[in-house]
Amino acid sequence: MFRNLVFASFAAATIGNAFGYGNAGHQAIGTVAEHYLDGTRALTEVRKLLKPGENLDRAATWPDRAKLPDQYLTAEMKDFVANNPDHHRYHYCDIPFQQSAYKDGITGTDKRDIVHILEICIQVLQAPDDNRENPLKIDKRVALMLAAHLVGDLHQPLHVGCSYVDEKDEFVDPETGAKGQQDAGANYFHLKTRKGSPLHGYWDTQTVKSARDHLGVEDFPGALIKTYPSKPEWDGQGPVGTWPAQWATETLGLAKLCFKEITPRDRFLVPKDDKHEEHFEWVITLPPTYQDQSRDTVEVELSKAGYRLAALLKAVWPEKKEDAPKP
């Protein structure tokens, strides 16, 4: 996600925290999903929507590639952007990390947050006809690519929870009536110095890089599946349309850990520009065990997100057509 970050060039967009879980993370999730979809009707339906040679790992990065400057966009992306000018917001919600559950209407949620958008994608995929009469004006193909990406983002803790910081540089929960400035998914927390990497980007890309180095870059998705095989508790409860909110609630629990033993300090004022209002940013230092813990967390989340993307698609396209959910 680079919702609050201005990027000046294509080069800038390919580094740092520009791409949600980073291309490597989203691609791994897509490949893990394909593993769990092997031989299913759902994969046959997925192939019909994707282009020849395209698979879920490529599809999973489409919504981030749609954020690039206009000259890099395909006609399909341009059309999506024109109909969804605020599509950058679709990738996250900003729930105070102290909260225990995703609840529609609380601080940091809105009609264009990641949970609502993924719910719409599921509805579009479940609809009997492939038309664009939906709030996003998207067809099933774009709904599939959005879903493949957003399931991944929903498993990045800082795409669900964030912190709010009061005048004393302490974390507060606005839902209790306290006033605090939001940290933009921890984009406003810099590691070690004011110019240090944002904590958000650390979780998007550094953790995935550490996980690849840890498990092996040769076949990273295969290593994820082997090291973290699916568990019964990864399955969603009830109808597939309710799973996004369940996953957000679970990920919010991990967001709490992102801020554990973190103390914002050395606040500095960042002036208003064409993308941001005037706001404060802070410097933070990570506790000694943070790096290993965040890496281990992300390894599980990537494997789980891949399994859940497959589960979502299998729920949309069950094996027998007569089992298909009523629209």
Piece of the chain touching Zn ion by CB under 5 A; list 30-38, 149-157, 206-214, 236-244: 149-157
The answer to whether 153 contacts Zn ion (rule: CB under 5 A) is yes
The answer to whether 190 contacts Zn ion (rule: CB under 5 A) is no
Task: Return the structure tokens found at 93.
Answer: 């919600």
Site string for Zn ion, 93-122 (x = CB under 5 A): ------------------------------
Kindly tell me which of 3 and 276 has the beta carbon lying closer to Zn ion.
Answer: 3
CB of 130 to Zn ion, least distance (A): 24
Q: Alpha-carbon distance 77 to 60, whole Å?
A: 14
Q: Which helix (H) or strand (E) holds 164?
A: strand 164-165
CA distances from 125 to 1, 49, 66, 116, 154 (A): 24, 10, 20, 14, 19
The answer to whether 200 contacts Zn ion (rule: CB under 5 A) is no
Kindly tell me which of 29 and 42 has the beta carbon lying closer to Zn ion.
Answer: 29
Q: Are 315 and 325 in contact (CB under 8 A)?
A: yes
Kindly tell me which of 91 and 212 has the beta carbon lying closer to Zn ion.
Answer: 91
Q: Give, as ranges, the residues between 2 and 31 that touch Zn ion (CB under 5 A).
A: 20
Q: Are 17 and 205 in contact (CB under 8 A)?
A: yes
Kindly tell me which of 88 and 140 has the beta carbon lying closer to Zn ion.
Answer: 88
Q: Alpha-carbon distance 281 to 142, whole Å?
A: 35
Piece of the chain touching Zn ion by CB under 5 A; list 104-112, 124-132, 145-153, 275-283: 145-153
The answer to whether 157 contacts Zn ion (rule: CB under 5 A) is no
Query: Would you give the distance in Å from CA 226 to the centre of its chain?
Result: 23
